[in-house]
Structure 1
Amino acid sequence: MTRSRTVVVTGGASGIGEAVVRRFTARGDEVIVLDRRKPGSPVHFVETDLNDCSSIDTAVDALDRPADVLCNVAGVSGASPVPLILGVNFFGLRHLTDRLVPRMNEGGAVVSVASTAGWYWRDHLAEVTRLIEAPDFRSGVDTGTALLRDGKDAYARSKEALIVWTSLAAQRYRGHVRLNTVSPGAVETPLLPSFYASMGHAELDPLTELAGGRNGRPEEIATVVEFLASAQATWVNGTDVVADAGAEMAFALRQNSAA
């Protein structure tokens, strides 16, 4: 019989986060949702604002047991103000992870939802490094806001920073917990219209075409999250797993005339 685990999920009230909650509850895990909104499913809920370090600290202190798995799913689109994008998508996530990981059971896993918008992190490594090197939430948001005036760019950098930071943190926490990211393409969630508003059909439609003519479903991303948190993925660490039906790779190859 599989041992029941304690799984913390941010953004578990809707979209991919809600699908992640369903996956873990279906296997008998105890799920704790950190979100601004109460989820519809009957799980333990701690109201949490990832754009507020004091709210994050209060949520962590409220947890009455060590976690086995942390799923960082909450996020906002590029249609949001730049400070909010940076705060929720990276600096709040980083603060929560650094607070929670030392309290997690050995052998646990952290899985964070990034995005294929972070695909080109190598091209922006100087800016990404400046974000990662910011010592705390406030200075990080201030640094990023000075660098990035556009929500679309801020979204991309926040996800690029998450991918790179996760690889670095995976080495720092190696032997205690594993850390990986999942990068979905466009997914049919309540947030999708705001992605089209900030990124535009001209950018997203070709990727949808290369993905087979449809966007992803939340449960298709949740299955990848579940795998990365499982005992079957013990040799996967510091890695970004792209889940977009191959669209981003096909697009990159087409842009470089390799296909």
Structure 2
Amino acid sequence: MAGRLEGKIALVTGIGAGIGQGIALRFAREGATVVGCDISAKWADATVELARAEGLAFESVHPIDLTKPEDVKRYIDFAGEKHGRIDILVNAAAIAPHMAPVATMDYEEEWIPTLVGEVDLVFLAVKAAWPWMIKVGGGSIVNFSSVNAGRGSVNTGMIAHCAGKAAVEAMSRQIAIEGGAHGIRCNTIAPGMVQTAATAAAGTSSGAVAERILQRLLIKRLGKPEDIANAALFLASDESTWVTGANFAIDGGVMAA
């Protein structure tokens, strides 16, 4: 099928690279007008150029710091005021979490920034988009949990990351409850290990750590951004109008093993 998002206004955060970029380009290829954002103007510009080379309807507001309420409102309201509606919000932006065990994690320097970067930025974007979605009678919100919301890691200390992603999952269920009366759906995607620039920089998508992860996978490869984009497309489209409050593990089977 083609044109699965034809006529939709889709906001996708974190379009500069990785999962956010993959989703934004896929949505535009399926007919959506995409309004993205990223904290990096350089990376956002590069994605916009990729989209324009394909003749896609694609815009970006950048730089945007999604942990700052004023930046979030500027981004969301730009899209709403220009297009008169917001149909889809995908909170794909990722701020690298601080990885440390409970015994050594610093509260001010590591715990708080990780929770702000994984929980607060989702809340702020949803809050800002809410009135625009109510105005048009509903929409689809896609948030990102993680397999680490449901299982810990023997490879890396990640107490704050596990807490943050579990919070996003729980928060999204409540968003689904509060949005039901307004036609607003909210679901989460829980990716397993996906090969991106961020996971490469963290040293988790290659080498010994990746080998240990592969041993747990039922499908013996790491994920790709397009694997996640496929799930996001379903949740954003009208094919999923009876789906809300759900969490989708897109993880090569790691949660089943």
**Aligned-pair RMSD on alpha carbons?**
2.3
> What residue ranges of structure 1 are gaps of 5+ in the alignment?
122-149, 251-259
Q: What is the number of residues matched between the two proteins?
A: 219
Post-superposition Cα deviations, 1:16-55, rounded to whole Å, max 9, x if no partner, equal: 1111011111111100002112422242111211121221
> What residue ranges of structure 2 are gaps of 5+ in the alignment?
53-57, 100-109
Q: TM-score normalized by structure 2?
A: 0.78
Q: Is the 8 Å Cα contact of residues 82 and 154 (structure 1) preserved in structure 2?
A: yes
Post-superposition Cα deviations, 1:110-136, rounded to whole Å, max 9, x if no partner, equal: 011221111149xxxxxxxxxxxxxxx
Q: Is the 8 Å Cα contact of residues 147 and 249 (structure 2) preserved in structure 1?
A: yes
| Counterpart-to-counterpart distance in 1, 2:188 and 2:28 | 21
SS of the counterpart of 1:188?
A: coil
Post-superposition Cα deviations, 1:74-110, rounded to whole Å, max 9, x if no partner, equal: 0123337333321121112111101212212323100
SS of the counterpart of 1:247?
A: coil
Check if 1:77 corresponds to 2:96.
Answer: yes
| Counterpart-to-counterpart distance in 2, 1:107 and 1:196 | 40
Within-5 A mapping of 1:233-244: 233-244=240-251
Check if 1:89 corresponds to 2:96.
Answer: no
Which of 172, 180, 191 aligns to 1:184? It is: 191
| Letter matched to residue 96 of structure 2 | S
Query: Equivalent residue for 1:224?
Result: 231
SS of the counterpart of 1:248?
A: coil
SS of the counterpart of 2:197?
A: coil
Query: Equivalent residue for 2:214?
Result: 208
Query: Equivalent residue for 2:161?
Result: 155
Post-superposition Cα deviations, 1:155-188, rounded to whole Å, max 9, x if no partner, equal: 1111000001100110001132100000000000
Q: Please list every run of at least 4 consecutive aligned residues from structure 1 whose deviation after the TM superposition is greater than 6 angstroms.
A: none
Query: Equivalent residue for 1:21?
Result: 24
Q: Is the 8 Å Cα contact of residues 207 and 248 (structure 1) preserved in structure 2?
A: no
Check if 1:55 corresponds to 2:86.
Answer: no
Give the deviation of 1:6 after TM superposition: 0.3
SS of the counterpart of 1:18?
A: helix
| Letter matched to residue 99 of structure 1 | A
Q: Is the 8 Å Cα contact of residues 187 and 218 (structure 1) preserved in structure 2?
A: yes
CA separation of 1:96 and 1:77: change in aligned 2, threshold 3 A: same
| Counterpart-to-counterpart distance in 2, 1:205 and 1:248 | 17
| Counterpart-to-counterpart distance in 1, 2:32 and 2:247 | 24
| Counterpart-to-counterpart distance in 2, 1:201 and 1:164 | 32
Query: Equivalent residue for 1:5?
Result: 8
Give the deviation of 1:196 after TM superposition: 4.1
